[in-house]
A = this chain, B = another copy of it.
Amino acid sequence: MEGHYTYTRLLLLGNTHYKGVKKPFKEVIKANIGDCHAMGQQPITIIRQVLALVSYPKLLDDPRFPEDAKERARTLLKGCRGGSMGSYTDSPGIEVIRRHVAEYIERRDGIPADWQNIVIGGGASDAIKNVLKILICPIDGKKPGVMIPIPQYPLYSATLAEFNMAQIGYYLDEANNWGLSVDELQRSITEARKTCAVRAIVVINPGNPTGQVLTKQNIQEIVKFAHKEKLFILADEVYQHNIYDPNSEFHSFKKVMHEMGEPYSQMELASFMSASKGYMGECGLRGGYAEVLNMHPDVRAQYLKAITAMLCSTTLGQACLDVIMNPPQEGEPSYELYLKEKTSVLESLKVRAKMVADTFNSMEGFSCNTVQGAMYAFPQFKLPPKAIEAAKAKNQAPDAFYAFELLESTGICVVPGSGFGQRPGTHHFRTTILPQTDKLKDMLDKFAEFHAQFLKKYS
């Protein structure tokens, strides 16, 4: 694992020099992390205006700020004790923001949402950990387990390990654009039940690292499976704004379950959303929420008690979330600019999603599913036997070896598939689609050139 450690160090350093040796590239391109603004995406103006106004309320008199930003800021300040963002809020968040979240969900799904089911956290990660925590209790002496997709976002494996819960992987079906197969879910749970008490299933839709958008039918199958197996559903829906494929549409688990009617509409569900992704990409501000539905009253009481025992998530992260949940409406002064900025980000991501998948599909030994949503591609690639031997000699996983050579030669950082999980014997990596279009084109050209040379070197 030393090789992997060095690779991580190099990523962290992000340097064009290492141990004094100059690298053969001018800059490191960090396609390894979903960090939108770091890659040049511009913030949405009204979000930042509201943050400035609530931070320094003297600006409420400034005629250069639009009235709809001021109105939102005034509402937020009224929701804070002492009228200051410097006060602690209720642990589940500022009430008016929780109400705006519920209204956002109602508009999205066309069905009612109760603000008291909304718990705001310091990012979706925080909200996810707080829900996983309530599933910790062993049942009948068996370790509690949670089903997670493979490949998966490492937050889940890390949190389950931290909480000493069993991680139960189910493979996504790469041949079926990373959809979920009920047969595979069944295989996975049957095997897991021999050793642990399976309590919940995590579904990431749109997918990270896999970029798929689940069909309504696929979601219905998952819901029926979860119902049959009495599983709590955790729906990680933080990429709900990031849909690029014209044939794909985002369906929230909540809406699908509602449409399926009883008993499915009465199942336990937690859905997560974040300020960090979508068209806003405000990762650094730390805002996100959980909507928690139909939780058993005892469990709900325990969950809310645990939340209340904590302080609160950052007020400015909450304020950022508020603007996303309550964006300018037609007729408001900021509406046109907001729409233009939002559309521009999403349209550009759409172009880049296609560019990335097309490029990889044109490369020898590569196959890449359509990037229907989210911010990532997770292409599969074949390695020549000599490359696999070279990796073995260096005590590296083959995909890590490949990613390391890529970084060393080109400065392009991607994350080896072994960091997310993949079927044994297959090789993948995750790249973001976040470099701005010109830089992305440049990166993909360099990548193709590297790959051709790599194949030659190890042929």
Contact = CB atoms under 8 A, between A and B. Distances in A.
Interface of A: 12, 33, 35-41, 43, 48-49, 51-53, 55-56, 59, 80-82, 84-90, 122-123, 125, 158, 280-286, 308-309, 311-317
Nearest to A308: B12
A123 B43 contact: no
Contact of A88 (B35, B80, B312): B35
Q: From DSSP, what is the main secondary structure of chain A's interface residues?
A: loop
B86 A36 contact: yes
Contact of A80 (B40, B281, B284, B317): B284
B311 A86 contact: no
A81 B38 contact: yes
Nearest to A35: B88
Contact of A86 (B49, B81, B285, B314): B285
B81 A35 contact: yes
A37 B82 contact: yes
Nearest to A309: B158
Contacts of A33: 88
| Of listed A55, A281, A312, residue having the most chain B CB within 10 A | A55
Given A51-B55, A56-B52, A123-B311, A281 B38 contact: no
Contact of A38 (B87, B123, B317): B87
Contacts of A311: 123, 125, 283, 286
A84 B43 contact: yes
Contact of A35 (B36, B37, B40, B87): B87
A58 to B, nearest CB: 8
A40 B286 contact: no
14 contacts: A12-B90, A35-B81, A36-B87, A38-B81, A40-B82, A49-B56, A51-B52, A52-B52, A59-B59, A80-B284, A122-B286, A123-B311, A284-B315, A316-B317
Contact of A316 (B51, B281, B283): B51
Contact of A315 (B40, B56, B285, B313): B285
Contacts of A38: 81-82, 84, 87-88
Nearest to A44: B86
Contacts of A37: 80-82, 84, 86-87
A129 to B, nearest CB: 10
Nearest to A5: B305
Contacts of A87: 35-38, 283-284
Contacts of A39: 82
Nearest to A91: B12
Nearest to A14: B81
Contacts of A280: 86
Contacts of A43: 84, 86
A159 to B, nearest CB: 10
| Of listed A49, A84, A85, A317, residue having the most chain B CB within 10 A | A84
A285 B316 contact: yes
A158 B88 CA distance: 19
Nearest to A94: B284
A284 B312 contact: yes
B284 A86 contact: yes
| Of listed A40, A59, A86, residue having the most chain B CB within 10 A | A86
A38 B311 CA distance: 14
A311 B280 CA distance: 18
